[in-house]
């Protein structure tokens, strides 16, 4: 069973704060990890991908991967009201030749002004 | 880059009719495309994986005769909902994998098609 778990939220932070989103996965051999953002009524949008242990930064977003702990997180610095959305963690498990993703249920983030 | 389009963006149809949804990768070749369904306030549910030139692989519980998938070219996959019923009303989203992209396994989503069956 390839499970992806996210903290259920909802998560509410003030504008300018750091929002921290967490995700754990069950398949120790998982190879690719992604964060998607989904606004209400819209389709998911890829915001970060990470493949090796450590941090990966892109603008205000930082993804952190710890394969030993089977944990991946997303930090959003200087959060803005426009960041309010549902964030989906997705994982490609070991042996996936077609790149099928397993998604968590998502964490709803609200950034209040 | 990595743009995926879907058409139509929304459709309303009568019960018993068939509806075709197109998914196109506009600036890359997608050997693999995925079809998802999402009900309000629920998570994405993968329906099927579509490979160019071969039969789609359906997830358990998804009726392949009801949800016909064709992936005839490297840039186009279609999903046909046959004999649609009100319970098929949902948000259908495709994604495409850019196998030749900079990052492996990245999937890019189309904007989705909202289907309402009366």
Q: Round to whole Å and give the CA distance between B68 and B56.
A: 9
Q: What are phi and psi of B87, to 5 degrees?
A: -70, -10
Q: How many residues belong to chain A?
A: 113
- In chain B the first and final C-alpha atoms are separated, in Å, by 37
Interacting residues of A35 by C-beta distance below 8 A, sequence separation 6+: A21, A46, A47, A48, A49, A61, A63, A72, A74, A87, A88, A89, A90
**β-bridge pairing B19-25 and B45-51:** unpaired
Q: Is A77 on the interface with B (CB under 8 A)?
A: no
Q: Is B99 on the interface with A (CB under 8 A)?
A: yes
Q: What is the structure's pLDDT at A1?
A: 62
Tell me how close the Cα of A44 comes to any Cα of chain B, in angstroms: 6
CB contact under 8 A, A44 and B49: no
Q: What is the pLDDT along chain B (118 residues), one digit of tens a residue?
A: 689 999 999 999 999 999 999 999 998 888 899 999 999 888 899 999 998 888 899 999 999 999 999 988 889 999 999 999 999 999 999 999 887 776 777 899 999 999 999 9
Tell me how close the Cα of A43 comes to any Cα of chain B, in angstroms: 5
Say whether A70 sits in a helix, a strand or coil: coil
Q: Smallest Cα–Cα separation from B53: which of B36, B35, B69, B34? A: B69
Q: Is A99 on the interface with B (CB under 8 A)?
A: yes
**Distances in whole angstroms, Cα of residue A62 to Cα of each of A5, A12, A77, B70:** 19, 18, 8, 38
Q: Is A109 on the interface with B (CB under 8 A)?
A: no
Average pLDDT of the segment spanning A46-60: 95
Question: pLDDT at residue A7 above 70?
Answer: yes
Q: What is the structure's pLDDT at A100?
A: 87
Q: Round to whole Å and give the CA distance between A112 and B8.
A: 34
CB contact under 8 A, B44 and A44: yes
Q: What is the structure's pLDDT at A89?
A: 96
Q: Which of A3-12, A22-31, B89-98 is predicted with the least confidence, judged by mean pLDDT? A: A3-12
């Amino acid at each position: 069973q390839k499970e992806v778990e996210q903290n259920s939220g909802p998560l509410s932070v003030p504008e300018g704060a750091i929002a921290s989103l967490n995700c754990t996965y069950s398949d120790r051999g998982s190879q690719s990890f992604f964060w998607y953002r989904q606004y209400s009524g819209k389709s998911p949008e890829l915001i970060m991908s990470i493949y090796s242990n450590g941090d990966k930064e892109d603008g205000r977003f930082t993804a952190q991967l710890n394969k030993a702990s089977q944990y991946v997180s997303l930090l959003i610095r200087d959060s803005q009201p426009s960041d309010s959305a549902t964030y989906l963690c997705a994982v490609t498990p070991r042996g996936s030749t077609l790149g099928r993703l397993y998604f968590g249920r998502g964490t709803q983030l609200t950034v209040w002004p | 880059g990595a743009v995926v389009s879907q058409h139509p963006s929304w459709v309303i149809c009568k019960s018993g009719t068939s509806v075709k949804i197109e998914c196109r990768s506009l600036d890359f070749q997608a050997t693999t495309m995925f079809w998802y369904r999402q009900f309000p306030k629920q998570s994405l549910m993968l329906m099927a994986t579509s490979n160019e030139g071969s039969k789609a692989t359906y997830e358990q519980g998804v009726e392949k005769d009801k949800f016909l998938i064709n992936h005839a070219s490297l840039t186009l996959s279609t999903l046909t909902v046959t004999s649609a019923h009100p319970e098929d009303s949902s948000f259908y989203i495709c994604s495409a994998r850019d196998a030749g992209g900079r990052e492996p396994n990245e999937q890019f989503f189309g904007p989705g098609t909202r289907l309402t069956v009366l």
